[in-house]
Structure 1
Amino acid sequence: MTKALAFPYRDVLYENRDARSILTDLAHANGWMLDVDGCLVKTSKAGGAGGKAIEGAARLLDWLRRNERKFVVCTNASQRTVATYAAHLRDIGLDIADHEMMTAATAAGDTIARAHPGARVLVVGDEGMAEAVRGSGLDVVAPDTSDADAVVVGAADNYASANLNAACISIADHGAALYTSVSSPWFHGGVNRSIAVSSAIAHAIASVTGVQPIVCGKPSKELGQSLRRRLGGGNGQIVIVGDAAQAEMALARDMDAMGVLVLSGATQAKDLPDLPSGQQPHWIAHDVGELVNQLQSIVP
């Protein structure tokens, strides 16, 4: 059953439209971005690692395929390669091909390639970021190179002091641009929370160099541009589904997409009345299982 939403900002958000009208727009949208952690997968590690699929996640993917909707599964994770993340999701029952997967690392590679064609890039992170940068046609330099054109920070288990020093020298002495996968301090995949290590490292570099990082993951404009290109350009309606208002809903608002907030991860029902206008969803569901049931009431 379609449920009307009644929160303090409802009239501002929905302009007095009834719930079924909003749901109809969602069900007929042709481009979809689905978050991973806390949305499709309940986990304590980024990219769905070690987690289990949330009930209804596989059915939502099936609904999108049967109804010929374009979609991409997008995570702010950056440590592992796209193929590694996609393979894990398939292992836990989610039918996601490698080419349907996107990470903050792939967004970073795309962003740097657009801004600095042919750049020599110093990666402060792991193979996921290095592969994404190489895949965008850029040169990944040795980890102790101190005259790179750009520095990009991604997640890793360990960071070498020589690598961090080279990053700071490249930025402070040679004018290298600084990029990072994410800027939020915490990661939340539906099971407690943990530090967003790439954000912490990027801001440590910023504190030394005085240069603020350009964010490439959700909710950045850079990622929004990449999604627009992948999901059909500027004419089709795009839906962003995620569990974090400050990430996915902010992204939806910024790129003029429809935001669907699922309450299975970072943002909880108690947080809804205090959400700023730039993070308010267009639709709210308990989880993706409830969402797909609602969509099927409009389009089977």
Structure 2
Amino acid sequence: MTISLDELRQRRAFICDMDGVIYHGNHLLPGVTEFLDWLHREDKRFLFLTNSSERSPRELKEKLRRLGVEVEESHFYSSALATAAFLAQQCPGGSVFAIGEAGLITALYDAGFSINDINPDYVVIGETRSYSYEKIAKAVQLVRSGAKLIGTNPDLTAPSEKGIIPATGALTAPIELATESKAYFLGKPNPLMMRHALKKLGCQREETAIVGDRMDTDIIAGIESEIDTVLVLSGVTSEADLNRFAYRPHYVLSGIGELVP
């Protein structure tokens, strides 16, 4: 059943992607300040749910501060945190060989994991600017020796100020091919990520809407979790791309500012 934009605005909580919705690289997107002001004014619950594993909640808070907006750490949840929580449940006190940035490494340490490049329980891949042949070769050797392959998210690409760049799904692919194994991805659209988000918000799915720029992660995550979906065209998906998918979002907006009455 289609609901009106006014009804959508009555939702108690909003789950928002970040890259392509809130910012591109170091550029705040139009309408974000007005959207945040509206969330606070209307006493909405909200969570920035990012598939990027690069930054910790503190770093995400500081990034938004540099861009001119203030958001507390409690409003951020990343695929790195979802990955660490999953692994801690599966193998408490285990060890990992990780290819990723500080957000991923910190989340794994905080969840009780140690770094191990000899015989780890898991090889974990996240976004990184220090991707190298040596690290790929090491990961392949460890997975072939029995380590389980984990990806923080399945995204093949991500938006940036300089255009589209490779994301975790693309960085994981060479290891999958060389080991003839498939990684398990924790980020959107994995339902675990969405359940974690609803728990953090303290809301039911009927009270919540998800806003994102990707059909293959944000929108399908909402549809499969039965949460109302809003696609914004400020990121990687264009209106022309919609016909490639067998499902549609509830709403298509040019940017997040259109949610503000």
Q: Give the secondary structure class of the aligned counterpart of 2:34.
A: helix
Q: Give the secondary structure class of the aligned counterpart of 1:32.
A: strand
Indicate if the aligned counterparts of 1:61 and 1:95 stay in contact, CA closer than 8 A: no
Partner of 2:145: 173
Structure 1 residues 261, 235: CA separation in 2 closer, same or farther (over 3 Å shift)? Answer: closer
Pairs within 5 Å for 1:174-189: 174=146, 176-189=147-160
Structure 1 residues 234, 290: CA separation in 2 closer, same or farther (over 3 Å shift)? Answer: closer
Indicate if the aligned counterparts of 1:189 and 1:266 stay in contact, CA closer than 8 A: no
Confirm whether residue 73 of structure 1 aligns to residue 55 of structure 2. no
CA deviations over 1:130-160 (Å, ceiling 9, x no partner): 001122x221214xx2211112101111235
Confirm whether residue 283 of structure 1 aligns to residue 257 of structure 2. no
Confirm whether residue 159 of structure 1 aligns to residue 131 of structure 2. yes
1:253 and 1:126 map into 2 onto residues whose CA distance is 30
2:114 and 2:173 map into 1 onto residues whose CA distance is 22
AA partner of residue 52 (structure 2): A
2:122 and 2:203 map into 1 onto residues whose CA distance is 28
Indicate if the aligned counterparts of 2:123 and 2:143 stay in contact, CA closer than 8 A: yes
Equivalent of residue 140 in structure 1, options 85, 105, 114: 114
The runs of 4+ residues in structure 1 deviating greater than 4 Å are 160-163, 233-236
Partner of 1:105: 80
Please, which runs of 5 or more residues in structure 2 have no aligned partner? none
Cα drift, residue 247 of structure 1: 1.7
Please, which runs of 5 or more residues in structure 1 have no aligned partner? 1-14, 44-48
Equivalent of residue 91 in structure 2, options 116, 136, 161: 116
Structure 1 residues 191, 60: CA separation in 2 closer, same or farther (over 3 Å shift)? Answer: farther
Question: TM-score normalised to the size of structure 2?
Answer: 0.90
CA deviations over 1:106-146 (Å, ceiling 9, x no partner): 221122222222221221222221001122x221214xx22
Confirm whether residue 36 of structure 1 aligns to residue 23 of structure 2. no
Indicate if the aligned counterparts of 2:206 and 2:227 stay in contact, CA closer than 8 A: no
Root-mean-square deviation (CA, aligned residues, Å) is: 2.1
Structure 1 residues 291, 191: CA separation in 2 closer, same or farther (over 3 Å shift)? Answer: farther
Partner of 2:170: 200
2:161 and 2:211 map into 1 onto residues whose CA distance is 15
Greater radius of gyration (CA): 1
Cα drift, residue 39 of structure 1: 1.0
1:25 and 1:232 map into 2 onto residues whose CA distance is 20
Indicate if the aligned counterparts of 2:210 and 2:218 stay in contact, CA closer than 8 A: yes
Alignment length, in residue pairs? 261
Cα drift, residue 77 of structure 1: 1.8
Structure 1 residues 163, 286: CA separation in 2 closer, same or farther (over 3 Å shift)? Answer: closer
Partner of 2:201: 231
Q: Give the secondary structure class of the aligned counterpart of 1:188.
A: strand
Cα drift, residue 235 of structure 1: 5.6
Structure 1 residues 167, 228: CA separation in 2 closer, same or farther (over 3 Å shift)? Answer: same
1:64 and 1:57 map into 2 onto residues whose CA distance is 11
Partner of 2:63: 88
1:37 and 1:91 map into 2 onto residues whose CA distance is 15
Indicate if the aligned counterparts of 1:37 and 1:190 stay in contact, CA closer than 8 A: no
CA deviations over 1:163-186 (Å, ceiling 9, x no partner): 444433332223x22111222322
Q: Which moved more, 1:155-164 or 1:262-271?
A: 155-164
Indicate if the aligned counterparts of 2:158 and 2:165 stay in contact, CA closer than 8 A: yes
Partner of 1:4: none
